[in-house]
A and B are shown apart, each in its own frame.
Chain A
């Protein structure tokens, strides 16, 4: 048996969809961020898999993932800062309570 690209891609896609599901359903903002991390990670994996299986002679996918990890870290940092900020202000992290502005 040969492990084909698609065998890696499908778990990665499932990971992405799990992230999506979590992002859409979790009430805790930090849990949402965790879901986001799953999504980002899935994308990273995609790049790496494509790079490795389709275009092994270059490193673009891998480099992209490398930078994407850095970006994800930065995103997480800012997002957590903001969430903590909100927590200070309203004393909870439930995203559904953040609906003062609407319509």
Chain B
């Protein structure tokens, strides 16, 4: 049995996720879309907090909201003239998009709903401390993630190089 507060919080967060997602993809102002994205990401971070993954929520805010959205904003400012980028969708495109997303929603929704163990409540979990996360990140045993950690660093390096090469003027 959840506390009323958490249920209210849950409702707000869920509504935020749904509404801002829809708005992010339907608004005709690109900068607004980025803003709605930011809100959605914040809402996701709240969900992480609600599910007791505080570290993850922090990362979400830091990386996504702090990094990626800023990147978007820069990019939008670089590529668009203010006010002129309102766009009118062709209805055919919209129908196609709707078909695909509703189909997706139906298929995935059905498969989620058909799993009865998803109708269980939140089990108890030990509070996740930073030590555990840190050990898991640096360890080499089972359930530990040194290899992905190293690998993702190579990936990030490559993406930096790639980004620079592509973005460089000549």
Within 8 Å CB of B87, what residues of A?
Answer: 26-28
Would A48 and B17 count as touching, CB distance under 8 A?
no
A75–B45 Cα gap in the complex (Å)?
Answer: 20
Find out whether the CB atom of B120 lies under 8 angstroms from the CB atom of A41.
Answer: no
Residues of B within 8 Å of A10, CB to CB, are: 109, 112
Minimum CB–CB distance from A82 to chain B (whole Å) comes to 5
Chain B, residue nearest A27 (CB):
B87
Secondary structure of the B contact surface, majority rule: helix
Rounded to whole Å, the gap between the CB of B84 and the closest CB of chain A is 11
Q: Among the listed A3, A20, A75, which residue makes an inter-chain contact with B10, where contact means beta carbons less than 8 Å apart?
A: A3
By a CB distance below 8 angstroms, the chain A residues around B75 are 30, 80, 83-84
How many A-B contacts are there with CB distance less than 8 Å? 232
Residues of B within 8 A of A52 (CB): 51-53, 122, 125
Closest 7 CB pairs of A and B: A22-B25, A24-B97, A18-B21, A56-B125, A74-B159, A81-B163, A25-B97
On chain B, the residues within 8 Å of A25 by CB distance are 25, 89, 93-94, 96-97
Q: Which residue of B lies closest to A50 (CB)?
A: B118
Interface residues of B in 108-140 (CB under 8 A from A): 108-109, 112-113, 117-125, 128, 132-133, 136-137
Per-residue 0/1 for A64-88: is the Cβ within 8 Å of any B Cβ (1 yes, 0 no)?
Answer: 0111011111111110111111011
What 1/0 mask marks residues of chain B from 6 to 17 whose CB sits below 8 Å from any chain A CB? Answer: 110010011001
* Additional A-B contact list (13), CB under 8 Å, known A4-B119, A22-B25, A24-B100: A2-B2, A3-B2, A5-B119, A7-B10, A14-B18, A14-B21, A20-B101, A24-B96, A31-B33, A52-B52, A69-B64, A72-B68, A78-B159
Question: Within the assembled complex, what's the spacing in Å between the Cα atoms of A69 and B41?
Answer: 11
Is there a chain A Cβ closer than 8 Å to B82's Cβ?
A: no
Write the nearest CB–CB distance from A62 to chain B, whole angstroms: 5
A48 neighbours in B (Cβ, 8 Å): 47-48, 51, 53, 56
Chain A residues in 8 Å Cβ range of B85: 28
Contacts known (A13-B105, A18-B21); A80 close to B72, Cβ less than 8 A: yes
